[in-house]
Chains A and B, each alone.
Chain A
Amino acid sequence: MQKVLTGNQAVAWGVMCARAQVVSAYPITPQTTIIEEIAELVSSGRLNARFIKVESEHSAMAGCIGASQAGARAFTATSAQGLALMHELIHWAALARLPVVMADVNRAMAPGWTIWTDQNDTLSQRDTGWLQFYCETNQEVLDTILHSFKIAEIIKLPVMVVLDAFFLSHTAEAIDIPAMADCDAFLPPYQGDLIVDVDNPRAFGGMAGTDVYQEFRYLQQEGMDQALQVAVDVDREFRQRFGRSYGLIEKYRCEDAETVLVTSGTITSTARDTIDEWRDRGEAVGLLKMRTFRPFPIEMVREALRGVPKVGVIDRNICPGFGGIWAQEIKAALYDLDEKDRPAVYGFIAGLGGRDVTPITINEILSKTHHPEKTDRHLNWIELKA
């Protein structure tokens, strides 16, 4: 079935397709239309779930944790300040190895108050043990919600599905809604094996001494390592069933490229057009779309960028005191390449607080990467007002 949906509606419909059983959420712009749509789906009986209308994002995640620990498929959605408020429990869900799925609509952090997009909210949850997928289209949003529950339940780690505020969340496009029977075949009901059961009473999350805690962390990392392959397998199975595939990263016109731009989120779509224009002019430029932030697909990135002379990373985020976060990760991944294969990596900060990243912006970044004589190797602010 084709339907015209906004990115936020696509999240809600993905949650319906996944037959989430408990939704625990609190409103925040620009996430609100996700939970409004879910409220409609639950009220109309199209989604058989409990919707706990909590008093804070902190409780939203705690509700998901309780529900997931007791064996239900649990979902929440938030943005920015809400995600930050959840932070303690974001760690908790991952260390408790609970397959919670959360959508975050990327919104810049206050102050000053802003509702517009950037990635600082989600990227600063890097070390919490959640998988993170960044979406480019509304179709990808819905599909990634389905992927995420499946991956989460296999590897017992929570997953964040990330979409740009307004550019995706409030922009409609025609998307394909998979049939419920196909969704059910792809994603069977959740059968947790370590869940609350009065016939087999266990304590979950009790005191961990110095003799065991480090091993919990080791196992969590092992789960992340497995996630790389599981995510690939799930993407492949999805393609076989539904005919669509995304990969953990996507190379776009990278053949023999002299310069490659690295993007994430909706900037990718704009950059595709710019790359096409440059290619039409005969320039050897390409694009690497980063869909997966955690686990970071180190080998795939190395393979994609091995031997490329120049790489420009566009960061709609800033790690103050260092620079762009994606650039930092890309550089770390490339460090172990032989020097002759190791690209020069140029970092660009653009589009913070929802500022438009237009073809003009991308052109400037591409030029500065392709002709880097006056470009800083580490950190370049684009369209910065004087």
Chain B
Amino acid sequence: MSPEVKGQITYEIPDREIMSSGHLACPGCGAALAMRTCLKIMGPRTVLCVPACCWAVIDGPFPYSSAGVPVVHCAFETAAITATGVRHALDMRGVKDVTVIAWAGDGGTFDIGFGALSATAERNENILYICYDNEAYMNTGIQRSSATPVGAWTTTTPSQHPKEEPKKNLVEIMAAHRIPYAATATVAFPDDLTRKLEKAKAMTGFRLLHIFSPCPPGHKSVESDSIKISRLAVDTNVFPLYEVENGTHYTLSRQSKDVPIKEYVRLQGRFKHLNDQAIAAMQERVNREWKRLLKRIECSE
């Protein structure tokens, strides 16, 4: 059913730690783990531009910072363009060996920052945009975003009226900009994340990584289940791991396990109001999207 994934290599994750302990993330936070892995790969010659999002808090209050690299806090909707400004300034100063990363949550990416993101991608600015996606406005208390999946409870989509609309497909939209690189990843597969970060680091132009990021308080899950949940997101095809090069060349990064979506849903309180019928409808939607992705991959080859 799935195309064979060729050339899978296990990547070594560097021992070095750039990010320090003492950050303010909740236990089991996928975004903290994602940053830790990201900085291990990207190294100290990295600048982070962080808009309003959980990471604006996680990094620590003035005058502290846990990232270990320069952090430019910026307004909610400006991650992509702030990073662009930093990039051009560094270029003008002759600093070429530094990677500038816009590091934003799903609200700052899918919603309020989307205009600037699209424009920055269209101009193919030389930055790496990383969206850690916890599928709602978690920092402000779990309000729905356009990254919230259909059926999910949030404080603005109460369980009597859970979110009715499907999640916006970020990678497809960004691929339509024909940017050099767009990919999905999760913290459950650090080898895959490592490979994609290394690949993105070596490229120039606009690159985007979309990282699924479990959030125990927002997903109403157990802290120790975060890795399990992010693995199941992939293995149920809810969040497939794939890459898109130049906007048209799709490649699958991991074989499907076709695990029933129920396994994923039952670990998260945000879905607990869903009955079997609703879960079956979700399964159907996931199957349809998965088939569509396979077609895109097929067309690419």
The answer to whether the Cβ of A311 comes within 8 Å of any Cβ in the partner chain is: no
Known A-B contacts A21-B89, A89-B78; the reply to A207 vs B61 at CB < 8 A is yes
- The residues in B between 55 and 81 inclusive whose CB is less than 8 angstroms from any CB of A are 56-57, 59-65, 67-75, 77-78, 81
B119 & A55 in contact (Cβ 8 Å cutoff): yes
Q: Chain A: which residue is nearest B47 at the CB level?
A: A196
How many residues on chain A are close to B (CB under 8 Å)? 40
Known A-B contacts A58-B78, A198-B70, A201-B67; the reply to A63 vs B123 at CB < 8 A is no
A206 & B59 in contact (Cβ 8 Å cutoff): yes
A89 & B75 in contact (Cβ 8 Å cutoff): yes
Distance to closest chain A CB from B174 (angstroms): 15
A22 & B59 in contact (Cβ 8 Å cutoff): no
B81 & A22 in contact (Cβ 8 Å cutoff): no
Interface string of B17-43 (1 = CB under 8 A from A): 000000000000000000000000000
Distance to closest chain B CB from A317 (angstroms): 27
Interface string of A60-75 (1 = CB under 8 A from B): 0011111111111010
Which of A67, A205, A207 has a CB less than 8 Å from the CB of B85?
A67
B116 & A202 in contact (Cβ 8 Å cutoff): no
A203 & B93 in contact (Cβ 8 Å cutoff): no
B93 & A72 in contact (Cβ 8 Å cutoff): yes
Distance to closest chain B CB from A198 (angstroms): 5
A56 & B88 in contact (Cβ 8 Å cutoff): no
B75 & A88 in contact (Cβ 8 Å cutoff): yes
CA distance A55 to B119 in the complex (A): 6
Which of B44, B56, B88 has a CB less than 8 Å from the CB of A198?
B44
Interface string of B81-97 (1 = CB under 8 A from A): 11111111111110100
The answer to whether the Cβ of B293 comes within 8 Å of any Cβ in the partner chain is: no
Distance to closest chain B CB from A158 (angstroms): 14
The answer to whether the Cβ of B222 comes within 8 Å of any Cβ in the partner chain is: no
| Chain A residues, Cβ within 8 Å of B125 | 52
| Chain A residues, Cβ within 8 Å of B46 | 198
B116 & A56 in contact (Cβ 8 Å cutoff): yes
CA distance A50 to B77 in the complex (A): 22
Q: Chain B: which residue is nearest A50 at the CB level?
A: B88
Known A-B contacts A62-B78, A89-B75, A198-B98; the reply to A71 vs B89 at CB < 8 A is yes
A208 & B85 in contact (Cβ 8 Å cutoff): no
A198 & B93 in contact (Cβ 8 Å cutoff): no
A203 & B60 in contact (Cβ 8 Å cutoff): yes
Distance to closest chain A CB from B87 (angstroms): 8
